[in-house]
Copies of this chain bind each other. A is one copy, B any other.
Amino acid sequence: MEDFAAVSGISRPTVSKYFNDPGSVRKSTRERIEAALERYDFRPNIYAVNQNRRLTKNVGVVVPYLADPFFAEIARNIERLVIEAGYRPILLSSHGNPAQEIDNLDSLRQIKPAGVLIAPLGRSSDKSAVAAFCKDAPTVHFDSNIEGLGEAFIGHNNTQATELIVEYLCRTGEPPVFFEMRLPPNPNAIKRRNTYVATMNRLGHDPHLIQVPGDGWEFEEIGFREGTRVIATHSLPSNTILCSNDRLAIGLLSAAYEAGLRVGLGAGCALRVAGHDDHPFARYTSPTLTTVAQDYGRIARKSVETLLKLIDSDAPPTRRETTLFDGTLIMRGSA
């Protein structure tokens, strides 16, 4: 920077000021610096820049499972917004593994991020470790709510969305059974189950839960394996199945196909299947999957906005703010 300042005819501290905020220097100086920049394309050394800063321009983004296109999509949206705001996103996936989640937070700590956006694993998360991290950096949680952690939570209105699809299914055919994992990794699933039960009761139907075993994040595999079993044992009290999420539904659709069951609305269909989330692949299943969409565009935007506000205001917020976005019914071929 010393040399660059010399060739551009400006003092080094002013050049430094320019790089921290181009608007903070006089227009004529800015133009001289930018002219020199074109000729020499100098860039401040990122390590030297960050060494003395208490906090950097880095923003951590932690998702539970990046191989799930749902999270890949939401991460992509977040990345873009973070970059537009002049920050540097660092994307980390926990790969469904709590130890990895802690590793991710540890390595984020090292880079002194200005803030962190995290979608925790959920049930298997090491709560106290996450809580400890939240004390070190402004943290916004999204997708998966761990009560009390993080300065704010932005997510999907599971209650409204589940009501929406349960009502739709009841209105258009047999009341659904609810297909889910016995121990869902994610708290959203619990909300969905409870809302399913409550809505069924409200509508005067008997709720029926099919809780299948299975661990990890291989939902399609679980949906396929357990779906095959459920179909084979004729243990379905209804021809309509509401899955806790689209990935289970994708596996279940595959199982139904293999079992020779035709899924859909029309005559000749043995089964209706619905999901939840509007997974990127839901429109390409056979049949296409009826589901409730999460508004992940708005979830991403609100999450980033909230974090940026936290970063700008030095004082921590008075209370933890929770924002939920409503789901939208997506009617396709499967139900």
Contacts and interface: CB of A to CB of B under 8 A. Distances in A.
Interface of A: 43, 45-48, 50-51, 66-69, 72-73, 75-76, 88, 90-93, 95, 107, 110-112, 220, 224, 250-251, 253-254, 257-258, 280-281, 283-288, 333
B110 A43 contact: yes
A88 B111 CA distance: 12
Contacts of A258: 286-288, 333
A72 B76 contact: no
A46 B110 contact: yes
Instruction: Give this chain's copy count.
Output: 2
A88 B76 CA distance: 21
Contacts of A288: 254, 258
A284 B282 CA distance: 12
Contacts of A250: 281, 284
Given A43-B110, A67-B280, A254-B285, 4 more contacts: A46-B111, A220-B283, A220-B284, A251-B284
A45 B48 CA distance: 11
23 contacts: A45-B51, A46-B111, A47-B47, A47-B50, A47-B51, A47-B112, A48-B51, A66-B72, A66-B75, A66-B76, A69-B69, A72-B72, A76-B93, A91-B92, A220-B283, A250-B281, A250-B284, A251-B284, A253-B284, A254-B283, A254-B285, A258-B287, A258-B288
